[in-house]
Amino acid sequence: MTARPLRAPGRRQEGLRVVHGRRSRRPVVTPFVAFVLIVFVALFGIVFARTALDQGAFDISELNREIVAARSENTRLRLEVAQLESPTRVAPLAEQMGMVFPTARDTVVVERIIDPTEPADPRWASIGRYAAATAVAPEAGE
């Protein structure tokens, strides 16, 4: 016995028929589009990164200019402070205000303030410039 395939129920339209032959191949566009998209995103990323780096370089350059200006201002202010603290400037002003060098020097010892065996705080080393102001010799005849 031979088996015959069943036909799908329905009407058969006249004038339509199946043509057997070569199948037409549609060109594959998806890999090409994906490649172009990846290249575009990569180039955009490179341009963005380069722009960000250039902006950072401009910021660093501006900060360097500000640092140079601040250093020169700092040097000017240190010079001004040194001139204002100069004993040759301070001593005459102190005399005009009625200040004099003491004739007798008494040492006052306060117990439990400083341990003599303990080393001095290094921050007090900068006080030396203030001590130089007291090094002005008193005038002869006093």
What pLDDT, on the 0 to 100 scale, is given for residue 142? 43
Mean pLDDT of the chain: 79
On whether residue 15 sits in a domain, the answer given is: no
In a domain, 4, yes or no: no
Assess if residue 67 is contained within a domain.
yes
Domain, as residue range, for 74: 57-82
Is 75 among the domain residues? Answer: yes
C-alpha separations of 56 from 49, 50, 65, 130 in Å:
11, 10, 14, 44
pTM of this structure: 0.41
pLDDT given for residue 104 in this prediction: 85
Q: State what percent of residues in the chain have pLDDT above 90.
A: 35
- Domain-embedded: residue 135: no
- The closest of 81, 78, 91 to 135, measured between CA atoms, is 91
The predicted pLDDT at position 96 comes to 92
The answer as to whether 43 is a domain residue is no
More confident: 22 or 100: 100
Position 140 scores a pLDDT of 45
pLDDT tops 50 at residue 60 = yes
Q: Is residue 109 part of a domain?
A: no
CA-to-CA distance for 35 and 59, rounded, in angstroms?
36
In a domain, 66, yes or no: yes
Of 131 and 69, the one with more pLDDT: 69
Predicted local distance difference test score (pLDDT) of residue 141: 44
Query: How many domains in the chain?
Result: 1
* Three-class secondary structure of residue 3 per DSSP: coil
Give the mean model confidence (pLDDT) for residues 13-40.
Answer: 81
